[in-house]
Amino acid sequence: MVLDTKDVLIDVARTLFATKGYANTSMNDIANAANKGRRTLYTYFKNKDEVFYAVIRAETLALRDYLKQLLTNPAKSPMERLTDYIYVRLDAVRDIVIRNGGLTAEFFQNQNLVERVRRRLDFSERNYLRLLLEEGKAAGTMDVPDPAFAALVLQSALKGMELPYIRGEFALEIAKKKNLLLDFLRKGFESK
């Protein structure tokens, strides 16, 4: 697959942000590493913040597509899909931040930017969760009076765990207690 110029610039910027850090990467560095002129870079992006925004956006779109696959897999029951989602979600977010090295500092320092980029991801994810919970409710396997609200609560709970999990504050505990966490979340949705 041939990447277009903008995708090449985003990919190169992702690598530079990961290796050099956001603060130590200049627009000139990005243009040079992509074998493009600065004029080409400025055709697509006004400044480094726009490039950074594009990098985070590309990562969130990839995460959205991955979570969508988990939540809409017709080969599994709604409860199995919910289980897969819970197991995978925290690790997927952490892996994106760690894989992109330089994003780690920005992730912790600039939550407003990260949240602005994630709005679409959050909306999509909440919608897929709602549809999953509605499907489980219709099948009689889940007892969820308000699937939209339950999706919001579940997503918010997992988002609230992201920063401490990425920092490693309780990653080992979560790894050991995933089944406990899973039981806690699932029992709230299972039909009695």
Instruction: Confirm or reject CATH 3.40.50.1370 for domain 53-187, answering yes or no.
Output: no
User: How high is the pLDDT of residue 104?
Assistant: 59
What is the model's pTM?
Answer: 0.76
* pLDDT at 147 > cutoff 90: yes
Of 53, 51, 52, nearest in space to 40 by CA: 51
pLDDT band at 192 (very low <50, low <70, confident <90, very high): low
Sequence-separated (6 or more) residues with CB below 8 Å from residue 50: none
| 3-class DSSP state of 142 | strand
Of 20-24, 85-89, 151-155, 182-186, the range with the lowest mean pLDDT is: 182-186
Q: Which residue has the higher pLDDT, 2 or 42?
A: 42
Q: Where are the domains of the chain?
A: 53-187
pLDDT band at 1 (very low <50, low <70, confident <90, very high): very low
Summarised one tens digit per residue, pLDDT across range 32-72 is 999 999 999 999 999 998 998 898 888 888 888 888 888 88
For residues 77 and 162, give the distance between their C-alpha atoms in angstroms, rounded to a whole number. 26
Q: 88-98: string of b/e by CB count within 10 Å (b at 16+)?
A: ebbeebbebbe
Q: Could you give the maximum distance between any two Cα atoms of the chain, in Å?
A: 63
